[in-house]
Amino acid sequence: MTKPGSRLVRWAAVEAMGRQRGPTVVAVHHHRAAERRGRPIGRVAAARKLLTLVYYGLRAGHVRCLAQAGRGLSRRSQQARSLVVMAPGHGAVAL
């Protein structure tokens, strides 16, 4: 995420990373990046990944990597992994 981008979107994405609970695809990415580069950089890298998944989810209606990662998990874990995004004009999109 670059500085010329929207400050509000950048802030919201980084705040969303602070609210991640459990073993989500984005949280795993956050921990891997944080181990390599430090916690703040890991959080921003994971926020960028989250925004990428939201973009493709809104464009295609689903996110393939989340469907693949959900195999073998309990029903409760799968429900905890789901993310609902409200998009203007599109309604709710489950990721």
Tens digit of pLDDT for each residue in 33-86? Answer: 989 999 888 888 999 998 888 888 888 887 777 666 555 555 555 554 555 544
Q: Which residues contact 36 (CB under 8 A, 6 or more apart)?
A: 42
Strand 84-87 with 91-94, pairing: antiparallel
Put simply, whether the predicted model's pTM sits higher than 0.75 gets the answer no
Torsion region of 22: left, alpha or beta (phi above 0 gives left; psi -120 to 50 gives alpha): left
Q: Which pLDDT tens digit goes with each residue over 9-41? A: 889 988 988 787 778 888 888 889 989 999 888
Q: What is the Cα–Cα distance from 62 to 41, expressed in whole angstroms? A: 27
Domain edges within the chain: 7-94
Three-state helix/strand/coil letters over 25-63: HHHHHHHHHHHHHCHHHHHHHHHHHHHHHHHHHHHHCCC
